[in-house]
Structure 1
Amino acid sequence: MARSASLWAVRTLLIVFGWHQANAIPRVSFPLDSPGRSLTQFTSLEVGNTTTLLLSSDEDTLFVGARNAIVSLDISEPRAVVMKNKLDWSPTEKDLNDCAMKGKKKADCPNFVRVLQVLNSTHMYACGTFAFSPRCTYINSETFSLVLGPTGKPEEGRGRCPYDPYQKNTAITVDGELYTGTVADYRGNRPVISRHLSEGGHVDLKLDDTLGWLEDPTFISSSYVPSEEKVYFFFSEVGREYDFIDKLTVSRVAQVCTSDVGGQRTLQRRWTTFAKAQLLCQSQGELPYNVLEDMFTLQPLEGAPEEDTLFYGIFSSQWSVNSGRSAVCVFSLDDIKAVFAGNYKVLNRDTLRWSTRVQEKVANPGSNFLTDEENFLPSGQRVSMVSPDYRYSNIAVQRVRGAKGKNYTVLYLLTESGYLHKTVLLENGPHIIEEVQVFRQPQPVKNLLLSLSKGSLFVGSSEGVTEVPVANCSFYWSCAECVLARDPFCGWDPSLRICTDITSIQSNAAQDVEKGNVHEKCKPPAPNPRSSFPPLRPPTGELVPVSLNEVVRLQCPEASRLARRHWERPNSRLSPDLYLQQDDGSLRFLATPITLGHYLCLSVENGFQQVLAVYQVKQKSSSNGGGASGGVPTSQPVSAGPTTTQTTQGRQLPATSAWGPRRTEGKAGRGRQPPPPLAPTLSPRETAGVTPRQERNFTFWLNPVLQAEADAKPRDRPPTKGQAGGEDDGGEHQLQTTTACYLQELVVVSVLLVLSVSVLLTFGLYGMRQRCHSRTAPQGCSSRRDAERGGAGSNGNAAGGAASTPQERESLRASPRETKRNGQAQNGQAQNGGKTLCNGVTNGSNGHLPNTPI
């Protein structure tokens, strides 16, 4: 035991960061009440907390257990949910007072129906919390009325239904007998697996935590396998076999035989066939997802053996490193049978420790009821799906036959925030086809119920019951969109040219669930030989009138979260210095003569490029009456010209998400980073070029010649006449006029610049001359007579040295006028023609410094 536990601990504690599955992102999203996804909702002010769902045998009636009531809803008509009957089942005033005396909240004291099962062909069985004192009752299916039991009194529901409305439980009926997993006290401390309403030679049985059978479990689901005559319970509990970790949660599957009649002595009226095993849901290199949230039983295909039954479970983790994440693992019935047929651990009652004995092959509830398998790995030894961004709470599963007869597994995963994710499992990983919001407020108790005959999924929550059709093929209005959806329910009918249910298409259905290859499945129309050389100009799009020097913003709808959106201009490139593409896919730029013209927003998904929006930005003329900047533009149909256009009328595209698009230049695959933000010197006036285009989408099969024209760069080919400045007509004249105007302004600015530089140079030279004069004037230059007398030293000492006599000092203080009369020039130059340097040192006529012997 110690070695096995140690190996498990080493493997689980070695964390390798990084996901081995791609992040699952919903391709499209439909908010609540979105016209792109039709839902049918049932809400009533008289009925709340509609979380327990049950379908009738013909699936024309939906029974709902709610707060203080049980209702029947008519769902026989497509996309219609109508209440037929309502049964009031409320606690008395005394029951409510007793609930308050127990210290419970008033909002938790009503009767919340948590068990609703078909008992036989004439009756149903229901149990509710009933003010923290559970009660059960029979319901006549024909008259839809409450019926008292054999005792003539309401039956006690302890061990059949939880006390707390937020406590999870499970219940299933087999041959008129009720099998439940719940708690047996209002504190929730006594878990129990029981059988009630036993018939024939059976007796009611139970199993609790007195002998260590259950360790603080949370019951999730139960399933009956007729060939095995077994009921399987799925739950999470504390794994006592791992005594080196405090309160380690593990997920379990437990079995009991429906033919069990109990044992002897301490096992009287107790299960003797109870056994449990651990379910391990773990992605490679990560800690296990050890908390079971929900489990769904997928029955085998018609004609397939019962061993092909699969159990799909949602798992979360108690580890903080996996907080907020979910995983989906699938287990096969064949693997579960093999685990229970293996060895079992033995519990030492004295030390309460588990040990292994190889010879123990049969389960014994008294000592060995835990399988010796270290863990029970999922089918295929791998996790089916890991969601790092969403935490799922409920699951339903369906098999769908595709266009070529291949079966696909579709998961319906409900997030805690109220979104339903429709996901298909593929060989290269899961693909989330869409997400649909089904309720607004997060809530702990909700339920999913799948009706195959109706083709709908019913979601029960505290806000009401929502019917979600499993297919939404009419949302896709072109072959490309239908194929890119990769929905196994939908295919493109080439004869009717619609995306419809795959079962209604006789042959040649365009569908590619695995890859979504549009080029292979959707062939473009054959070009007309007469129009093989179309005029080289872009198609006309929505007209956006703007004023110069205004900021223009062009919106681009989001056709898919998996697509990369980018903008293009015919015969021009979008310089990052002029254009800014924002996270929502819109394009912003300053309206100038060179930015007027056509703009195309394109998306690339799975190598297929399609046009989402076409705009023609044009300067406002006087005939337009000016108007405020950013006025609502007029919409013009896209010119078919040489192209074949398919438009989607009356359709709302999904809301723009926070996922930032990546820009591509030219063809797909040449990625480019978004440009830097525009300089803050733009005009404060901002023009919202177009309102979000949520009612139209364009898919183009562009003519090769036109596509080559759109992909051409300015350096490859100069713009042709009529295309300068981005205009179709008049562009050349406007460019010439603008160029002439700019030339005059350039000449004027150049002349002013030359004059300014000349003035600056003049003042600079004058300043330098003044500084030279200021340095030379005080020093003066010594005359030859002074030099002969030896009164002045060389190197300017005559000016700076001290006079030896008062007369000499007086002569040095003589005025400039007197100095000039003595033969000294005012500017410091000697009259003998000697030249004076700027630092006051003079050069003699002989080229030597004064007072220097020759």
Structure 2
Amino acid sequence: MRASGRVIFWLLSAVCSLSRSRTATLGSVRDLDAMLGPQQFRGVANFSTFLLDRSSGVLFLGARDAILAVDTNNLTKPPRTIVWDVPEEKRKSCVAKGKTEGDCNNYLRLLEFLGNGWIYVCGTYAFDPQCAFLNMSSFSLERGEDGGVRMETGKGKCPFEPSQHYTAVMAGGILYTAATSNFLGTLFDISRATGQEQERIRTERSINWLSDPEFVSSVFIQQDEDNNPQGEDNKIYFFFTEVAKEYDLYTKVKVPRVARVCKSDVGGMKTLQRRWTTFLKAQLVCEDRASGQRYNILTDVYTKQHTSGDPSSTHFYGLFTSQWEHEELSAVCVYSLADISKVMDGPFKELKKTCENWINPEPVPTPRPGQCLNSALRAEGFESSLKLPDKVLTFMRDHPLMENNVIAAPLLVRRGITYTKVAVTRTTTGSDDDQRNAATVLHLGTDRGELHRVLVVGHITTLLQEIPLFSAQEPVNNILLHKGQALVGSPLSLARVGAEGCSLYPSCEVCARARPLGCVWRAKEGACGPGMTEPIQGQEVEDALKLCDSGEGRCSPVLRELRVSVGLHVLLPCVQVSTRPCTWEHPPHRHTRQHHSDLEVTVTEESLGTYTCLCQEGGPEGKEESPVCRRASYHLTLEGPSAGGAMAMAGGRHLLAIYMLCFILGVALGGFLLYFLSRRRVIGQRHPDHSLSSEKGQDLLGSSATPQSPSSGSLLSEGFPLTEKRGNGTLLLTHQHGNGNGGHHGNAGYANNANCNVQTAASAVNGLKLHVQEMVTDERRGGERERRRPEGGQGDEEDEGLGEGLGGIEEELAGFALFKLPAPLAQCEESSI
């Protein structure tokens, strides 16, 4: 019967909990095609490196102690797995050197095609980097004569630690890397890591060359022979963030850099032996000119050729954040290869400094230091970097930094969001030279497992989609674009999402902004699709916007009246189409909090009134005064608790009434059941031998006391719990109200015995159960000192103190309306120890 009463009580509680209000947010568009998670990967995790074979569609993933192969054309097919772990002895040796067990595994950080069906694979291998060779056809690692994996050292090719910043690129079958080169992670190199031994060169160990860098990305730019009349050498570009040495500030200033080396560089003959003779670097500046805000931490770079087959049209899309901002912030800037080359051909920065004043710059020798080999240099007899004069190499060693910066304004700035990866799709209409009609879609991964899509047309940016792919604990760490799809990866999962087409644009307005792509909004279908005719040049976007609702209608939302009550937390949605921030006009004495573009309002008498959301339509590169559009308008009036279309975040007065009703019903039902059970128990347990073990206890409990079992629970004991607080030999019983107000206390002194379990049972009506458990934790000699005390009344005083404490609690509890009937207390069972 008691069990059934408890079940009924919990059912009532569940019914009451269903009446709680929930927060509703603006739903996002999901275009998820397929997903692979931990279940499909069978426990393999920590994916960090992706390598896609575009001919077959097989995606190779580097993970912890394993390499996986996934068929992106059929994700339902189970992935193939190769285990490449670390022997137990080596793992123990790694732990003995002070590293954690989690880091002492083999984290695969490098996957690069070698050609002829082989892949070069490198892993951290318990802080001793090793490399191996993967056969693509058999999907197996090459074995040595002893049957083990054929390995070679990975130092300089792969980082020692799984979390170290690292980048690598393969150029003509030769591996170029930017990584740490020692166990402690204090030495950094940009090097040619494979090839002939005499041609393996690296950067100079100087803070003027590399100063605590965080490597981000690298790319090989191969010149087209048909469009290279000067015979310029091919180049490799590295992107990283480092501590600037050219600024005299008290704090470390980080700056983003781009560095360049030439593929044919083999070092100098005497000066810069086995070192780069063409290493030049320049600062990247991503600055919003209107606000003066600079974004100085580079986190990712995506390389894109704006014109297919033309390396000179290459652009680099950089993902930035700020060292000086405390909130989440992300920006995207784009740099052209032509602008970088122009800075690399400009003046050198003079880094030498005397005590206080800069010295005069040195004259630039001839041939120009850092210059890649070309037809003109070869004609002068400089067929190799080994033939360069020492004065050129000395100047190069002391002047790796360029004076001018590569400057760009951000395409996109978003606050409250941290982007981790970026990928770009770009479409043009008309001639390839007409960049006015180019539309760019930025695919941005977040640190919370989301994929965002942003459309950039001219100076206008439009937020297309926010797609949640993974859990908030899985940041996006890879995005690959292949055949109109985006392969998005996290440390635990892989998703395939559509990346191209007019279906990306979910509304008439954003579809109109994609008019240069040939997209047209079909009102009957309520979807965006390809147009049957070519877009009209010049005014196609404005004309398409007029067809949506008219220009004035887009910026004149209907005023929505919301009837609210005091105490509500109301979320007012505002659709943020542009990536520029939205602001709100609101009453002066309001209590609000903005979540991205939405506004949370705490309803009070002073917060009633009109709330209007204003969003800027132009991008950061637009005019100084970007057009402002009203996106939403609400008027809050004090009447009922209905939010009228907004999202209520907390319950109103009607919820309080429901809670009170549920509570009263639960108390009445529980009281009736417990009264019935207690009456049966009193009748069944009456016996003449049921006497108390001491006179004091008999006076305290009364002759009608009925002991209860410790397990006899009460339905209301969970609603009014008593907690224990222990001091120096004192046990405090604290009554806790459900509303958090105050409490009642009683004290119980030491008992004569070493272990006394005082258990109290509440009455059948109130259902309160007191658990008093006093444990003496002193050493045995402390208990012996207690026994050696004089017997003249000492024990009586302690018993009296115990009785007074429990009796005081009983009197205080009797003051409550629910505690009017007698509540017998259980006896103290003395231990014989």
Q: TM-score, normalised by structure 1?
A: 0.56
Which of residues 335, 342, 347 in structure 2 aligns to 1:343?
347
Residue 507 of structure 1 pairs with residue 551 of structure 2: no
1:4 is aligned to: none
8 Å CA contact 2:481, 2:499 repeated in 1: no
- Report the alpha carbon displacement of residue 177 of structure 1 after superposing the two structures with TM: 0.5
Change (3 A) 1:577 1:193: closer
Q: SS in structure 2 opposite 1:247?
A: coil
1:468 shift after superposition: 1.7
Structure 1 CA distance for aligned equivalents of residues 273 and 95 of structure 2 = 37
Question: Is 1:400 equivalent to 2:427 in the alignment?
Answer: yes
Q: Distance in 2 between matches of 1:562 and 1:133?
A: 61
Encode CA deviations 1:418-474: one digit per residue, 9 max, x unaligned.
2211111133432111111222134578222222xx211112211211112114755
Q: Secondary structure at the match of 1:312?
A: strand
Please state how far the C-alpha of 1:290 moved relative to its aligned partner.
1.1
- Give the secondary-structure state (helix, strand or coil) at the position aligned to 2:286: coil
Residue type of the partner of 2:450? Y
Q: Percent identity?
A: 31
* Alignment partners' CA distance in 2, 1:237 and 1:329: 18
2:99 counterpart of 1:104: yes
Task: Check if 1:136 corresponds to 2:131.
Answer: yes
| Residue aligning to 1:414 | 445
Change (3 A) 1:439 1:402: farther
Check 1:520–1:208 CA distance in 2 against 1; reply closer, same or farther (3 A cut).
Answer: same
Structure-1 residue corresponding to 2:214: 218
Q: Which residue of 1 aligns with 2:495?
A: 466
Please state if 1:186 is matched with 2:156. no
Q: What value does the CA root-mean-square deviation take over the aligned residues? A: 4.4
Equivalent in the alignment of 1:483: 511
2:398 is matched with 368
- How far did 1:48 drift? 0.8
In structure 1, C-alpha distance between the alignment counterparts of 2:576 and 2:260, rounded to whole Å = 51
Please give the secondary structure, in 1, of the residue aligned with 2:164.
coil
Matched residue SS, 2:407: coil
Paired position in structure 1 for 2:28: 30
Pair 1:508–1:178, CA change in 2 (3 A)? closer
Q: 2-side partners of 1:61 and 1:230: how far apart?
A: 29
Distance of aligned partners of 1:95 and 1:566 in 2 relative to their CA distance in 1, 3 Å threshold: farther
Alpha-carbon spacing, 1:584–1:316, altered in 2? closer, same or farther (3 Å): closer
Change (3 A) 1:508 1:218: closer
The aligned counterpart of 2:317 is: 312
Alpha-carbon spacing, 1:206–1:508, altered in 2? closer, same or farther (3 Å): closer
Matches within 5 A, 1:118-517: 118-147=113-142, 153-199=150-196, 203-210=199-206, 212-227=208-223, 228-265=233-270, 267-284=272-289, 285-302=291-308, 305-320=310-325, 323-348=327-352, 357=361, 359-360=363-364, 361-363=368-370, 366=394, 367-378=397-408, 382-401=409-428, 406-442=437-473, 446-451=477-482, 454-471=483-500, 480=508, 483=511, 486=514, 491-492=519-520, 497=525, 499=527, 502=530, 505-507=531-533, 514=541, 517=544
Whether the 8 Å CA contact 1:235–1:251 is kept in 2: the answer is yes
Deviation at 1:171, TM superposition (A): 0.6
TM-superposition CA deviations, 1:561-582 (whole Å, max 9, x none): 9995754xxxxxx697999998
Gapped runs of 5+ residues in structure 2? 1-24, 224-232, 371-391, 579-594, 602-609, 614-628, 643-651, 659-833
Amino acid at match of 1:684: H
Q: Secondary structure at the match of 1:440?
A: coil
Q: Which residue of 2 aligns with 1:536?
A: none
CA distance in 2, matches of 1:670, 1:412: 25
Give per-residue Cα distances to partners, 1:758-799, cap 9 Å, x unaligned: xxxxxxxxxxxxxxxxxxxxxxxxxxxxxxxxxxxxxxxxxx
Q: How does 1:576-587 map to 2 (within 5 A)?
A: 583-584=570-571
Q: Distance in 2 between matches of 1:442 and 1:241?
A: 38
- Per mean C-alpha deviation after superposition, the further-off stretch among 328-337 and 347-356 is 347-356
Task: Give per-residue Cα distances to partners, 1:487-506, cap 9 Å, x unaligned.
Answer: 8778347599473653xx54
Aligned counterpart, 1:555:
none
Indicate how the Cα distance of structure 1 residues 189 and 282 shifts in structure 2: closer, same or farther if over 3 A, else same: same
Partners of 2:634 and 2:526 in 1: how far apart?
A: 37
User: Deviation string for 1:214-233 (max 9, x for gaps)?
Assistant: 11101100011112411001
Alignment check: 8 A CA contact 2:369 2:393 kept: no
Counterparts of 2:110 and 2:51 in 1: how far apart (Å)?
10
Matched residue of 2:495: which SS?
Answer: strand
Pick closer, same or farther for the CA change 1:137–1:518 going to 2, 3 Å: same
- Structure 2 SS opposite 1:95: helix
Does structure 1 conserve the Cα–Cα contact (< 8 Å) formed by 2:453 and 2:463? yes
Q: Deviations over 1:242-292 (max 9, x none)?
A: 134432111111111110112123522221111111111111233421111
Would the aligned equivalents of 1:90 and 1:130 in 2 still touch at CA under 8 Å? yes
CA contact (8 A) 1:65 1:112 kept: yes
- Give the superposition deviation at 1:414: 1.5
Aligned counterparts, 1:447-846, within 5 A = 447-451=478-482, 454-471=483-500, 480=508, 483=511, 486=514, 491-492=519-520, 497=525, 499=527, 502=530, 505-507=531-533, 514=541, 517-520=544-547, 566-567=559-560, 583-584=570-571, 658-659=598-599, 674-678=635-639, 684=654
CA separation of 1:86 and 1:173: change in aligned 2, threshold 3 A? same
Counterpart contact for 2:280–2:402, Cα < 8 Å: no
Judging changes above 3 Å, is the alpha-carbon distance between structure 1 residues 39 and 399 closer, same or farther for their aligned structure 2 residues? same
SS of aligned partner of 1:336: helix
Render the CA deviation track for 1:552-598: whole Å, top value 9, x for unaligned.
xxxxxxxxx9995754xxxxxx6979999984469xxxxxxxxxxxx
Asked if 2 retains the 8 angstrom alpha-carbon contact of 1:50 and 1:465, the reply is no
- Range 149-158 or range 216-225, more displaced: 149-158
In structure 2, relative to structure 1, the CA distance for the partners of 1:104 and 1:516 (3 Å cut) is: farther
Residues 1:354 and 1:664: Cα distance change in structure 2 (over 3 Å): closer
Equivalent residue number for residue 722 of structure 1: none
Q: Give the distance between the partners of 1:604 and 1:372, measured in 2 at CA.
A: 40
Cα distance, 1:164 vs structure 2: 1.1
8 Å Cα contact 1:191-1:208 kept in structure 2: no
Structure 2 Cα separation of the partners of residues 189 and 351 of structure 1: 28
Give the Cα separation in 1 of the matches to 2:564 and 2:497. 48
Contact 1:563 1:604 in 2 (8 A): no
- Letter aligned with residue 300 of structure 1: H
Deviation at 1:136, TM superposition (A): 0.6
Alignment of 1:54 with 2:89, yes or no, is no
Q: 2:61 aligns with which of 56, 60, 64?
A: 64
Secondary structure of residue in 1 paired with 2:547: helix
Structure 1 residues 465 and 153 mapped into 2: Cα distance closer, same or farther (>3 Å)? same
Please tell me the residue identity of whatever aligns with 1:467: R
Q: Which amino acid aligns with 2:87?
A: T
Q: Secondary structure at the match of 1:377?
A: strand
SS in 2 for 1:318: coil
Contact 1:402 1:488 in 2 (8 A): yes
Is the 2:439–2:517 Cα contact (8 Å) retained in structure 1?
Answer: no
Instruction: State the one-letter code of the partner of 1:422.
Output: R
* CA distance in 2: counterparts of 1:62 and 1:187, whole angstroms: 33
